Protein backbone atom coordinates (compact mmCIF):
# COMPACT_ATOMS: atom_id res chain seq x y z
CA UNK A 1 0.00 0.00 0.00
CA UNK A 2 1.25 3.48 -0.84
CA UNK A 3 0.27 6.55 1.09
CA UNK A 4 0.00 9.76 -0.80
CA UNK A 5 2.45 12.21 0.72
CA UNK A 6 0.36 15.29 -0.05
CA UNK A 7 -3.06 14.24 1.08
CA UNK A 8 -2.63 11.43 3.47
CA UNK A 9 -5.26 9.42 1.61
CA UNK A 10 -3.82 5.95 1.26
CA UNK A 11 -4.01 4.68 -2.33
CA UNK A 12 -5.46 1.31 -1.44
CA UNK A 13 -6.91 2.31 1.92
CA UNK A 14 -10.06 0.79 3.23
CA UNK A 15 -11.63 4.25 3.39
CA UNK A 16 -10.99 4.85 -0.32
CA UNK A 17 -12.11 1.35 -1.17
CA UNK A 18 -15.30 1.68 0.85
CA UNK A 19 -16.09 5.05 -0.70
CA UNK A 20 -15.38 3.68 -4.18
CA UNK A 21 -17.85 0.87 -3.58
CA UNK A 22 -20.45 3.25 -2.22
CA UNK A 23 -20.14 5.61 -5.19
CA UNK A 24 -20.08 2.69 -7.61
CA UNK A 25 -23.27 1.26 -6.19
CA UNK A 26 -25.04 4.59 -6.30
CA UNK A 27 -24.05 5.17 -9.96
CA UNK A 28 -25.07 1.62 -10.83
CA UNK A 29 -28.40 2.24 -9.10
CA UNK A 30 -28.98 5.24 -11.33
CA UNK A 31 -28.26 3.33 -14.58
CA UNK A 32 -31.36 3.24 -16.78
CA UNK A 33 -32.82 -0.23 -17.15
CA UNK A 34 -32.00 -1.69 -20.55
CA UNK A 35 -35.69 -2.30 -21.14
CA UNK A 36 -36.23 1.43 -21.47
CA UNK A 37 -33.90 1.38 -24.53
CA UNK A 38 -35.07 -1.54 -26.64
CA UNK A 39 -32.98 -0.44 -29.65
CA UNK A 40 -29.80 -0.41 -27.62
CA UNK A 41 -30.65 -3.80 -26.24
CA UNK A 42 -30.96 -5.07 -29.79
CA UNK A 43 -27.53 -3.71 -30.72
CA UNK A 44 -26.15 -5.23 -27.57
CA UNK A 45 -27.37 -8.62 -28.76
CA UNK A 46 -25.53 -8.24 -32.08
CA UNK A 47 -22.39 -7.17 -30.25
CA UNK A 48 -22.63 -10.17 -27.98
CA UNK A 49 -22.95 -12.49 -30.96
CA UNK A 50 -19.90 -10.90 -32.57
CA UNK A 51 -17.72 -10.99 -29.50
CA UNK A 52 -18.44 -14.68 -28.99
CA UNK A 53 -17.01 -15.66 -32.38
CA UNK A 54 -13.73 -14.16 -33.57
CA UNK A 55 -14.35 -15.02 -37.21
CA UNK A 56 -17.79 -13.51 -37.15
CA UNK A 57 -16.39 -10.46 -35.47
CA UNK A 58 -13.75 -10.11 -38.19
CA UNK A 59 -16.39 -10.51 -40.89
CA UNK A 60 -18.60 -7.89 -39.25
CA UNK A 61 -15.77 -5.37 -38.89
CA UNK A 62 -14.55 -5.84 -42.42
CA UNK A 63 -18.06 -5.35 -43.69
CA UNK A 64 -18.71 -2.22 -41.66
CA UNK A 65 -15.39 -0.88 -42.89
CA UNK A 66 -16.18 -1.32 -46.59
CA UNK A 67 -19.81 -0.14 -46.57
CA UNK A 68 -19.12 3.44 -47.65
CA UNK A 69 -17.05 2.27 -50.64
CA UNK A 70 -19.74 -0.03 -52.03
CA UNK A 71 -21.42 1.27 -55.16
CA UNK A 72 -24.73 -0.60 -55.06
CA UNK A 73 -26.84 -2.90 -52.94
CA UNK A 74 -25.63 -5.75 -55.11
CA UNK A 75 -22.01 -4.78 -54.43
CA UNK A 76 -22.74 -4.54 -50.69
CA UNK A 77 -24.28 -7.99 -50.64
CA UNK A 78 -21.35 -9.49 -52.52
CA UNK A 79 -18.92 -8.05 -49.97
CA UNK A 80 -21.03 -9.24 -47.07
CA UNK A 81 -21.26 -12.80 -48.34
CA UNK A 82 -17.56 -12.75 -49.23
CA UNK A 83 -16.75 -12.02 -45.60
CA UNK A 84 -19.30 -14.47 -44.24
CA UNK A 85 -17.89 -17.28 -46.38
CA UNK A 86 -14.78 -17.02 -44.20
CA UNK A 87 -16.81 -17.80 -41.05
CA UNK A 88 -16.57 -21.55 -40.50
CA UNK A 89 -19.70 -21.97 -38.38
CA UNK A 90 -22.14 -19.22 -39.32
CA UNK A 91 -25.11 -18.82 -36.99
CA UNK A 92 -28.45 -19.77 -38.58
CA UNK A 93 -29.57 -16.24 -39.58
CA UNK A 94 -26.35 -15.77 -41.54
CA UNK A 95 -26.84 -18.98 -43.49
CA UNK A 96 -30.17 -17.57 -44.60
CA UNK A 97 -28.43 -14.34 -45.61
CA UNK A 98 -25.88 -16.25 -47.66
CA UNK A 99 -28.58 -18.19 -49.49
CA UNK A 100 -30.31 -14.91 -50.28
CA UNK A 101 -27.18 -13.74 -52.03
CA UNK A 102 -27.59 -16.39 -54.71
CA UNK A 103 -30.06 -14.27 -56.65
CA UNK A 104 -29.88 -10.72 -57.85
CA UNK A 105 -33.13 -9.78 -56.10
CA UNK A 106 -31.92 -11.48 -52.95
CA UNK A 107 -28.68 -9.53 -53.05
CA UNK A 108 -30.55 -6.24 -53.45
CA UNK A 109 -32.67 -7.04 -50.40
CA UNK A 110 -29.71 -8.28 -48.37
CA UNK A 111 -27.60 -5.26 -49.32
CA UNK A 112 -30.39 -2.89 -48.34
CA UNK A 113 -30.92 -4.62 -45.01
CA UNK A 114 -27.22 -4.67 -44.21
CA UNK A 115 -26.75 -1.02 -45.19
CA UNK A 116 -29.64 -0.08 -42.95
CA UNK A 117 -28.08 -2.06 -40.12
CA UNK A 118 -24.75 -0.31 -40.44
CA UNK A 119 -26.38 3.09 -40.77
CA UNK A 120 -28.36 2.41 -37.63
CA UNK A 121 -25.21 1.40 -35.78
CA UNK A 122 -23.34 4.47 -37.07
CA UNK A 123 -26.11 6.78 -35.85
CA UNK A 124 -25.65 5.40 -32.39
CA UNK A 125 -22.04 6.62 -32.34
CA UNK A 126 -22.08 9.56 -34.77
CA UNK A 127 -24.32 12.42 -33.73
CA UNK A 128 -24.91 14.11 -37.08
CA UNK A 129 -23.53 14.81 -40.52
CA UNK A 130 -22.17 18.19 -39.41
CA UNK A 131 -22.24 20.33 -36.26
CA UNK A 132 -25.42 22.14 -37.28
CA UNK A 133 -27.24 18.86 -37.80
CA UNK A 134 -25.94 17.65 -34.45
CA UNK A 135 -27.23 20.65 -32.48
CA UNK A 136 -30.64 19.23 -31.48
CA UNK A 137 -29.03 16.10 -30.03
CA UNK A 138 -26.35 18.13 -28.24
CA UNK A 139 -28.88 20.55 -26.83
CA UNK A 140 -31.09 17.74 -25.64
CA UNK A 141 -28.16 16.10 -23.85
CA UNK A 142 -27.17 19.42 -22.30
CA UNK A 143 -30.66 19.89 -20.95
CA UNK A 144 -30.42 16.47 -19.35
CA UNK A 145 -27.15 17.40 -17.69
CA UNK A 146 -24.57 16.11 -20.19
CA UNK A 147 -22.16 18.59 -21.79
CA UNK A 148 -20.71 17.79 -25.23
CA UNK A 149 -17.27 17.82 -26.79
CA UNK A 150 -17.63 17.76 -30.56
CA UNK A 151 -15.14 15.83 -32.68
CA UNK A 152 -15.14 16.26 -36.47
CA UNK A 153 -14.63 12.95 -38.21
CA UNK A 154 -12.76 13.08 -41.48
CA UNK A 155 -10.83 11.13 -44.03
CA UNK A 156 -7.09 10.93 -43.53
CA UNK A 157 -5.33 14.18 -44.35
CA UNK A 158 -2.85 13.51 -47.16
CA UNK A 159 -2.77 16.84 -49.01
CA UNK A 160 -2.40 20.47 -47.90
CA UNK A 161 -5.90 21.17 -49.20
CA UNK A 162 -7.38 18.46 -47.02
CA UNK A 163 -5.64 20.00 -44.01
CA UNK A 164 -7.07 23.41 -44.93
CA UNK A 165 -10.53 21.87 -45.32
CA UNK A 166 -10.34 20.28 -41.89
CA UNK A 167 -9.16 23.55 -40.34
CA UNK A 168 -12.05 25.45 -41.89
CA UNK A 169 -14.52 22.80 -40.76
CA UNK A 170 -13.13 23.28 -37.24
CA UNK A 171 -13.49 27.05 -37.54
CA UNK A 172 -17.09 26.67 -38.72
CA UNK A 173 -17.82 24.25 -35.91
CA UNK A 174 -16.50 26.74 -33.36
CA UNK A 175 -18.70 29.45 -34.83
CA UNK A 176 -21.77 27.20 -34.91
CA UNK A 177 -21.25 25.86 -31.42
CA UNK A 178 -20.51 29.24 -29.89
CA UNK A 179 -23.66 30.78 -31.35
CA UNK A 180 -25.92 27.86 -30.56
CA UNK A 181 -24.68 27.10 -27.04
CA UNK A 182 -25.24 30.74 -26.03
CA UNK A 183 -28.96 30.03 -26.37
CA UNK A 184 -28.88 26.94 -24.19
CA UNK A 185 -30.50 27.02 -20.76
CA UNK A 186 -28.31 27.49 -17.72
CA UNK A 187 -26.87 24.32 -16.22
CA UNK A 188 -24.67 25.49 -13.33
CA UNK A 189 -23.20 22.06 -12.71
CA UNK A 190 -21.76 21.97 -16.24
CA UNK A 191 -20.56 25.54 -16.40
CA UNK A 192 -18.19 26.17 -13.54
CA UNK A 193 -15.68 24.76 -11.11
CA UNK A 194 -13.30 26.25 -8.55
CA UNK A 195 -11.09 27.51 -11.40
CA UNK A 196 -13.97 29.54 -12.80
CA UNK A 197 -16.19 29.39 -15.86
CA UNK A 198 -16.18 26.28 -18.02
CA UNK A 199 -16.93 27.05 -21.69
CA UNK A 200 -20.07 25.57 -23.17
CA UNK A 201 -18.66 25.26 -26.68
CA UNK A 202 -16.10 22.48 -26.65
CA UNK A 203 -14.32 21.15 -29.74
CA UNK A 204 -11.79 18.32 -29.96
CA UNK A 205 -9.23 18.52 -32.80
CA UNK A 206 -6.70 16.11 -34.26
CA UNK A 207 -3.26 17.35 -35.19
CA UNK A 208 -2.86 14.60 -37.81
CA UNK A 209 -5.83 16.10 -39.63
CA UNK A 210 -4.33 19.60 -39.51
CA UNK A 211 -1.27 18.63 -41.54
CA UNK A 212 -0.28 16.02 -44.12
CA UNK A 213 3.34 16.25 -42.95
CA UNK A 214 3.34 14.53 -39.58
CA UNK A 215 6.09 11.90 -39.91
CA UNK A 216 6.88 9.86 -36.77
CA UNK A 217 10.63 9.96 -37.48
CA UNK A 218 10.70 13.68 -38.37
CA UNK A 219 8.02 15.47 -36.33
CA UNK A 220 9.30 19.04 -36.71
CA UNK A 221 8.01 19.72 -40.22
CA UNK A 222 4.54 18.46 -39.41
CA UNK A 223 4.45 20.39 -36.15
CA UNK A 224 5.39 23.61 -37.92
CA UNK A 225 2.76 23.03 -40.60
CA UNK A 226 0.05 22.09 -38.09
CA UNK A 227 0.90 25.11 -35.95
CA UNK A 228 -0.01 27.37 -38.89
CA UNK A 229 -3.53 25.97 -38.81
CA UNK A 230 -3.85 25.47 -35.05
CA UNK A 231 -2.96 29.02 -34.03
CA UNK A 232 -5.94 30.61 -35.84
CA UNK A 233 -8.23 28.06 -34.18
CA UNK A 234 -6.78 28.87 -30.77
CA UNK A 235 -7.29 32.57 -31.46
CA UNK A 236 -10.85 31.99 -32.54
CA UNK A 237 -11.57 29.85 -29.48
CA UNK A 238 -10.05 32.53 -27.26
CA UNK A 239 -12.24 35.26 -28.79
CA UNK A 240 -15.33 33.08 -28.62
CA UNK A 241 -14.66 31.80 -25.12
CA UNK A 242 -14.73 28.21 -26.40
CA UNK A 243 -12.66 25.23 -25.27
CA UNK A 244 -10.27 23.54 -27.71
CA UNK A 245 -9.09 20.04 -26.89
CA UNK A 246 -6.08 18.51 -28.63
CA UNK A 247 -6.73 14.79 -29.06
CA UNK A 248 -4.07 12.10 -28.92
CA UNK A 249 -3.76 9.34 -31.47
CA UNK A 250 -1.20 6.57 -31.71
CA UNK A 251 2.27 6.59 -30.16
CA UNK A 252 3.71 7.42 -33.59
CA UNK A 253 2.56 11.00 -33.12
CA UNK A 254 2.08 11.20 -29.36
CA UNK A 255 5.22 13.22 -28.57
CA UNK A 256 4.82 15.47 -31.59
CA UNK A 257 1.23 16.30 -30.63
CA UNK A 258 1.94 16.91 -26.95
CA UNK A 259 5.06 19.00 -27.66
CA UNK A 260 3.19 21.12 -30.15
CA UNK A 261 0.17 21.66 -27.89
CA UNK A 262 2.26 22.64 -24.87
CA UNK A 263 4.53 24.88 -26.94
CA UNK A 264 1.70 26.81 -28.55
CA UNK A 265 -0.29 27.17 -25.35
CA UNK A 266 2.76 28.71 -23.68
CA UNK A 267 2.98 31.43 -26.35
CA UNK A 268 2.22 34.88 -24.88
CA UNK A 269 -0.74 35.51 -27.18
CA UNK A 270 -2.53 32.54 -25.60
CA UNK A 271 -1.85 33.51 -22.00
CA UNK A 272 -5.35 34.92 -21.70
CA UNK A 273 -6.98 31.92 -23.36
CA UNK A 274 -8.48 29.87 -24.74
CA UNK A 275 -9.37 27.12 -22.36
CA UNK A 276 -7.54 24.12 -23.82
CA UNK A 277 -6.67 20.53 -23.06
CA UNK A 278 -4.58 17.53 -23.89
CA UNK A 279 -5.01 13.78 -23.47
CA UNK A 280 -3.15 11.30 -21.29
CA UNK A 281 -3.40 7.64 -22.39
CA UNK A 282 -3.22 5.28 -19.42
CA UNK A 283 -2.54 2.18 -21.51
CA UNK A 284 0.93 3.48 -22.32
CA UNK A 285 3.55 2.20 -19.96
CA UNK A 286 5.32 5.55 -19.96
CA UNK A 287 2.16 7.54 -19.20
CA UNK A 288 3.31 8.34 -15.63
CA UNK A 289 6.35 10.11 -17.08
CA UNK A 290 4.12 11.97 -19.52
CA UNK A 291 1.94 13.17 -16.66
CA UNK A 292 5.07 14.29 -14.84
CA UNK A 293 6.02 16.35 -17.91
CA UNK A 294 2.57 17.87 -18.22
CA UNK A 295 2.42 18.83 -14.55
CA UNK A 296 5.88 20.37 -14.73
CA UNK A 297 4.70 22.40 -17.71
CA UNK A 298 1.60 23.48 -15.78
CA UNK A 299 3.80 24.59 -12.87
CA UNK A 300 6.22 26.38 -15.15
CA UNK A 301 5.34 27.53 -18.69
CA UNK A 302 1.61 27.13 -18.18
CA UNK A 303 1.51 29.04 -14.91
CA UNK A 304 0.92 32.40 -16.52
CA UNK A 305 -2.14 31.18 -18.41
CA UNK A 306 -5.46 32.52 -17.28
CA UNK A 307 -7.19 29.17 -17.80
CA UNK A 308 -5.73 25.95 -16.47
CA UNK A 309 -4.95 23.15 -18.87
CA UNK A 310 -7.55 20.37 -18.95
CA UNK A 311 -6.05 16.89 -18.84
CA UNK A 312 -8.37 14.20 -20.15
CA UNK A 313 -7.33 10.82 -18.81
CA UNK A 314 -8.34 7.97 -21.12
CA UNK A 315 -7.40 4.33 -21.44
CA UNK A 316 -6.49 4.85 -25.11
CA UNK A 317 -8.12 3.72 -28.35
CA UNK A 318 -5.20 2.31 -30.37
CA UNK A 319 -4.31 -0.72 -28.30
CA UNK A 320 -4.45 -3.21 -31.17
CA UNK A 321 -2.48 -0.89 -33.42
CA UNK A 322 0.27 -0.38 -30.84
CA UNK A 323 0.46 -4.09 -30.14
CA UNK A 324 0.62 -5.12 -33.81
CA UNK A 325 3.08 -2.41 -34.79
CA UNK A 326 5.46 -3.24 -31.95
CA UNK A 327 5.32 -6.98 -32.66
CA UNK A 328 5.86 -6.48 -36.39
CA UNK A 329 8.92 -4.32 -35.80
CA UNK A 330 10.32 -6.25 -32.86
CA UNK A 331 9.92 -3.26 -30.56
CA UNK A 332 9.13 -3.32 -26.90
CA UNK A 333 5.35 -3.23 -26.60
CA UNK A 334 4.52 0.28 -25.36
CA UNK A 335 1.13 -0.60 -23.89
CA UNK A 336 0.12 -2.69 -20.89
CA UNK A 337 -0.93 -6.08 -22.12
CA UNK A 338 -2.87 -7.04 -18.98
CA UNK A 339 -6.12 -5.17 -18.45
CA UNK A 340 -5.64 -5.11 -14.67
CA UNK A 341 -2.26 -3.36 -15.06
CA UNK A 342 -3.83 -0.76 -17.28
CA UNK A 343 -6.73 -0.29 -14.86
CA UNK A 344 -4.36 0.03 -11.90
CA UNK A 345 -2.29 2.59 -13.80
CA UNK A 346 -5.47 4.47 -14.67
CA UNK A 347 -6.28 4.72 -10.98
CA UNK A 348 -2.73 5.82 -10.09
CA UNK A 349 -2.87 8.54 -12.72
CA UNK A 350 -6.35 9.55 -11.54
CA UNK A 351 -5.07 10.13 -8.03
CA UNK A 352 -2.03 12.06 -9.21
CA UNK A 353 -4.21 14.25 -11.40
CA UNK A 354 -6.69 14.95 -8.63
CA UNK A 355 -3.80 15.77 -6.31
CA UNK A 356 -2.74 18.33 -8.92
CA UNK A 357 -6.16 19.83 -9.54
CA UNK A 358 -4.95 23.20 -8.37
CA UNK A 359 -2.76 23.22 -11.48
CA UNK A 360 -4.93 21.46 -14.04
CA UNK A 361 -8.57 20.67 -14.69
CA UNK A 362 -9.17 16.96 -14.40
CA UNK A 363 -11.34 15.00 -16.83
CA UNK A 364 -11.58 11.26 -16.32
CA UNK A 365 -12.90 9.48 -19.41
CA UNK A 366 -13.96 5.86 -19.03
CA UNK A 367 -16.83 3.44 -19.35
CA UNK A 368 -15.44 1.42 -16.49
CA UNK A 369 -17.75 2.06 -13.55
CA UNK A 370 -14.99 1.14 -11.12
CA UNK A 371 -12.56 3.68 -12.63
CA UNK A 372 -15.14 6.46 -12.46
CA UNK A 373 -16.28 5.57 -8.95
CA UNK A 374 -12.67 5.49 -7.79
CA UNK A 375 -12.08 8.99 -9.19
CA UNK A 376 -15.18 10.41 -7.53
CA UNK A 377 -14.40 8.68 -4.23
CA UNK A 378 -10.77 9.81 -4.13
CA UNK A 379 -11.70 13.37 -4.98
CA UNK A 380 -14.28 13.44 -2.18
CA UNK A 381 -11.98 11.86 0.40
CA UNK A 382 -9.34 14.41 -0.47
CA UNK A 383 -11.86 17.09 0.39
CA UNK A 384 -12.54 18.16 -3.18
CA UNK A 385 -15.94 19.01 -4.54
CA UNK A 386 -17.64 17.06 -7.30
CA UNK A 387 -17.59 20.24 -9.40
CA UNK A 388 -13.83 19.93 -9.74
CA UNK A 389 -13.97 16.56 -11.44
CA UNK A 390 -15.23 16.06 -14.97
CA UNK A 391 -16.28 12.59 -16.07
CA UNK A 392 -16.36 11.76 -19.77
CA UNK A 393 -17.99 9.08 -21.87
CA UNK A 394 -18.33 8.39 -25.58
CA UNK A 395 -21.60 9.06 -27.32
CA UNK A 396 -23.14 5.74 -28.22
CA UNK A 397 -21.09 3.62 -25.86
CA UNK A 398 -21.72 5.43 -22.61
CA UNK A 399 -25.17 6.95 -23.02
CA UNK A 400 -26.73 5.08 -20.11
CA UNK A 401 -23.70 5.76 -17.98
CA UNK A 402 -23.83 9.48 -18.77
CA UNK A 403 -27.46 9.55 -17.73
CA UNK A 404 -26.61 7.81 -14.46
CA UNK A 405 -23.69 10.13 -13.72
CA UNK A 406 -25.86 13.16 -14.38
CA UNK A 407 -28.51 11.60 -12.16
CA UNK A 408 -25.92 11.41 -9.37
CA UNK A 409 -25.27 15.14 -9.86
CA UNK A 410 -21.78 14.58 -11.19
CA UNK A 411 -20.27 16.70 -13.94
CA UNK A 412 -20.33 14.69 -17.14
CA UNK A 413 -19.35 15.31 -20.74
CA UNK A 414 -19.97 13.13 -23.78
CA UNK A 415 -17.47 13.00 -26.64
CA UNK A 416 -19.64 13.41 -29.73
CA UNK A 417 -18.24 12.55 -33.16
CA UNK A 418 -19.81 14.43 -36.05
CA UNK A 419 -19.38 13.61 -39.71
CA UNK A 420 -20.59 11.55 -42.61
CA UNK A 421 -20.59 7.79 -42.85
CA UNK A 422 -17.49 7.49 -45.06
CA UNK A 423 -15.47 9.66 -42.73
CA UNK A 424 -16.79 7.93 -39.65
CA UNK A 425 -16.02 4.33 -40.52
CA UNK A 426 -12.53 4.16 -39.05
CA UNK A 427 -13.94 5.62 -35.86
CA UNK A 428 -16.89 3.28 -35.86
CA UNK A 429 -14.73 0.20 -36.33
CA UNK A 430 -12.52 1.23 -33.42
CA UNK A 431 -15.54 1.74 -31.19
CA UNK A 432 -17.00 -1.62 -32.17
CA UNK A 433 -13.70 -3.30 -31.39
CA UNK A 434 -13.66 -1.67 -28.00
CA UNK A 435 -17.25 -2.67 -27.35
CA UNK A 436 -16.73 -6.32 -28.22
CA UNK A 437 -13.27 -6.89 -26.73
CA UNK A 438 -13.52 -9.88 -24.43
CA UNK A 439 -11.77 -8.10 -21.59
CA UNK A 440 -13.71 -4.85 -21.75
CA UNK A 441 -15.80 -3.59 -18.89
CA UNK A 442 -18.77 -3.18 -21.20
CA UNK A 443 -18.43 -6.78 -22.29
CA UNK A 444 -18.39 -7.98 -18.70
CA UNK A 445 -21.30 -5.78 -17.83
CA UNK A 446 -23.33 -7.06 -20.77
CA UNK A 447 -22.41 -10.63 -19.85
CA UNK A 448 -24.03 -10.16 -16.45
CA UNK A 449 -20.93 -10.14 -14.24
CA UNK A 450 -22.13 -9.24 -10.68
CA UNK A 451 -21.80 -5.60 -9.69
CA UNK A 452 -19.42 -6.33 -6.81
CA UNK A 453 -17.03 -8.05 -9.22
CA UNK A 454 -17.30 -5.19 -11.69
CA UNK A 455 -16.41 -2.78 -8.88
CA UNK A 456 -13.54 -4.78 -7.41
CA UNK A 457 -10.10 -3.18 -7.32
CA UNK A 458 -7.77 -4.10 -10.18
CA UNK A 459 -4.97 -6.43 -9.11
CA UNK A 460 -1.80 -5.66 -11.07
CA UNK A 461 -0.03 -8.67 -12.52
CA UNK A 462 3.12 -8.12 -10.43
CA UNK A 463 0.99 -8.49 -7.30
CA UNK A 464 -0.62 -11.67 -8.62
CA UNK A 465 2.83 -13.05 -9.41
CA UNK A 466 3.94 -12.32 -5.85
CA UNK A 467 6.53 -9.76 -6.87
CA UNK A 468 6.82 -6.47 -4.99
Q: How far is the CB of 294 from another protein (least distance, A)?
A: 17
Among 5, 33, 71, 468, binds another protein (CB under 8 A): 71
Identify which of residues 279 and 401 has a Cβ nearer to another protein in the complex. 279
**Interactions with another protein, residue window 377-436 (CB under 8 A):** 426
Q: How far is the CB of 49 from another protein (least distance, A)?
A: 21
Instruction: Please tell me the count of residues contacting another protein according to CB under 8 A.
Output: 35
Among 93, 158, 186, 466, binds another protein (CB under 8 A): 158
Among 39, 69, 182, 324, binds another protein (CB under 8 A): 69
Does residue number 82 form part of the binding site for another protein (CB under 8 A)?
Answer: yes
Choose the stretch contacting another protein; rule: CB under 8 A; options: 11-19, 236-244, 249-257, 390-398: 249-257
Among 9, 23, 77, 79, binds another protein (CB under 8 A): 79
Q: How far is the CB of 109 from another protein (least distance, A)?
A: 20
Choose the stretch contacting another protein; rule: CB under 8 A; options: 83-91, 226-234, 275-283, 448-456: 83-91
Q: Please write down the HEC assignment for all residues of the chain.
A: CCECCCCCCECCCHHHHHHHHHHHHHHHHHCCCHHHCHHHHHHHHHHHHHHHCHHHHHHHHHHHHHHHHCCCHHHHHHHHHHHHCCCCCCCHHHHHHHHHCCCHHHHHHHHHHHHHHHHHHHHHHCCCCCHHHHHHHHHHHHHCCEEEEEEECCCCCCCHHHHHHHHHHHHHHHHHHHHHHHCCCCCHHHHEECCEECCCCEEEECHHHHCCCCECCEHHHHHHHHHHHHHHHHHHHHHHCCEEEECCCCHHHHHHHHHHHHHHHCCHHHCCCCEEEEEEECCECCHHHHHHHHHHHHHCHHHHCCCCCEEEEECCCCHHHHHHHHHHHCCCCCECCCHHHHHHHHHHHHHHHHHCCCCCEEEEECCCHHHHHHHHHHHHHCCCCHHHEEEEEECCCCHHHHHHHHHCCCEEEEEEEECCHHHHHHHHHHHHHHHHCCCCHHHHHHCCCCHHHHCCCCCCHHHHCCCC
Do 114 and 80 contact (CB within 8 A), yes or no? yes
Identify which of residues 253 and 368 has a Cβ nearer to another protein in the complex. 253
Identify which of residues 94 and 426 has a Cβ nearer to another protein in the complex. 426
Q: How far is the CB of 462 from another protein (least distance, A)?
A: 25
**Interactions with another protein, residue window 323-352 (CB under 8 A):** 329-331
Identify which of residues 212 and 419 has a Cβ nearer to another protein in the complex. 212
Does residue number 159 form part of the binding site for another protein (CB under 8 A)?
Answer: yes
Does residue number 155 form part of the binding site for another protein (CB under 8 A)?
Answer: yes
Identify which of residues 213 and 376 has a Cβ nearer to another protein in the complex. 213
Does residue number 251 form part of the binding site for another protein (CB under 8 A)?
Answer: yes
Does residue number 215 form part of the binding site for another protein (CB under 8 A)?
Answer: yes
Identify which of residues 61 and 415 has a Cβ nearer to another protein in the complex. 61
Among 23, 73, 83, 455, binds another protein (CB under 8 A): 83
Note the residues at the interface with another protein (CB under 8 A).
Answer: 62, 65-66, 69-71, 75, 78-79, 82-83, 85-86, 155-156, 158-162, 212-213, 215-218, 220-221, 251-252, 255, 329-331, 426
Amino acid sequence: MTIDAHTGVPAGSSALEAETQRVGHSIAGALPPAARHPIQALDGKAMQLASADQELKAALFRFVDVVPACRSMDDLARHLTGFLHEVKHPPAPLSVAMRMADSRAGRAALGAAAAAGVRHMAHRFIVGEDPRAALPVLRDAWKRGVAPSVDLLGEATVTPREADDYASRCAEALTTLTAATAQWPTRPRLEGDSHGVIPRANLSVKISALTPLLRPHAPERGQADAAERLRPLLRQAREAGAHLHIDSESLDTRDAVLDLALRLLAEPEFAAGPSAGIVLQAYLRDSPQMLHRVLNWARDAGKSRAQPLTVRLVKGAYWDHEMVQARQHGWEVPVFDAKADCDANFEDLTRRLIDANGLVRVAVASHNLRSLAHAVAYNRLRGGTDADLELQVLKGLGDGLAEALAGCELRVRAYCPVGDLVAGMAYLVRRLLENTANDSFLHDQAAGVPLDDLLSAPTPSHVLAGRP
